[in-house]
């Protein structure tokens, strides 16, 4: 949880005052910690699907292998590990954005939610989360969008250009598809936390 929180602060802190962001994190307190712990197994399972290590009904839409010339597990170890880390970090960044920017009156109940009740609905949502959540947060929509775009521009894009050779005209075409993939992955992380919050609110 500490690593994911620091990830969020480091990315968002490139755009906004870190001191204010740390206030957001502190304000969420124990409930954010409990939610990280509650959702971590589901997040890890989904990341395994995204990286091609596991299968689910969402695999055809969310697995990175459909966008690579060679499956992730066949890439050189260093590149494979770096790409897998970028994938996980992008998803966790989305989770952190929903946890720390937004408030939910029922968040204290999130640790008691039955994830099996909403995980299938969330997996369907995750296949097109960036479209479903376009403009998410109304007044905070630009904040949400900018954090995801900053992460891609600073961390993901340089890796793709240098390590996967996605430069030049033809590389730019693939880059656009992979950028869309990472954008959706970011919003899928947002959606997981959001769906848990909705379930908590429905508990009454």
112-147 residue pLDDT tens: 999 999 999 999 999 999 999 988 878 889 999 999
Confidence of residue 154 (pLDDT cuts 50, 70, 90): very high
Confidence of residue 169 (pLDDT cuts 50, 70, 90): low
Structure token digits, residue 94: 């989305």
Residue position matching structure tokens 């994938």? 87
Q: Once rounded to an integer, what is the mean pLDDT over residues 93-121? A: 94
Q: Residue 192 in contact with residue 122, Cβ under 8 Å?
A: yes
Cα(23)–Cα(33) distance, rounded to whole angstroms?
15
For residue 60, pLDDT over 90 is answered with no
For residue 171, pLDDT over 80 is answered with no
Q: Once rounded to an integer, what is the mean pLDDT over residues 37-58? A: 94
Q: Number of structural domains, the chain?
A: 1
What burial class does residue 106 get, using C-beta atoms within 10 Å of its C-beta: 0-12 exposed, 13-18 middle, 19+ buried?
A: middle
Show contacts of 65-73: CB within 8 Å, 24+ apart. Answer: 67/174, 67/177, 67/178, 67/181, 68/164
Put simply, whether the predicted model's pTM sits higher than 0.85 gets the answer yes
For residue 168, what are the domain limits? 2-202
């Amino acid at each position: 949880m500490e690593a994911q929180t620091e990830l969020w602060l480091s990315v968002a802190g490139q755009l906004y005052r870190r001191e204010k962001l740390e206030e957001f994190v502190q304000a969420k307190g124990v409930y954010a910690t409990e939610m990280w712990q509650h959702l971590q197994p589901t997040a890890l399972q989904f990341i395994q699907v995204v990286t091609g290590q596991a299968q689910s009904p969402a695999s055809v839409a969310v697995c990175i292998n459909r966008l690579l010339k060679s499956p992730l597990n066949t890439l050189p170890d260093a590149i494979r590990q770096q790409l897998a880390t970028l994938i996980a970090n992008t998803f966790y960044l989305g989770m952190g954005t929903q946890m720390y920017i937004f408030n939910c009156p029922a968040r204290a109940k999130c640790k008691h939610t039955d994830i099996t009740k909403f995980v299938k609905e969330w997996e369907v949502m995750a296949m097109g989360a960036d479209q479903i959540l376009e403009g998410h947060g109304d007044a905070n929509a630009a904040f949400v969008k900018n954090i995801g775009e900053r992460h891609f521009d600073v961390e993901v894009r340089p890796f793709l250009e240098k390590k996967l050779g996605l430069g030049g005209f033809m590389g730019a075409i693939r880059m656009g598809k992979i950028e869309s993939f990472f954008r959706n992955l970011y919003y899928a992380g947002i959606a997981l936390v959001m769906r848990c919050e909705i379930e908590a609110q429905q508990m009454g």
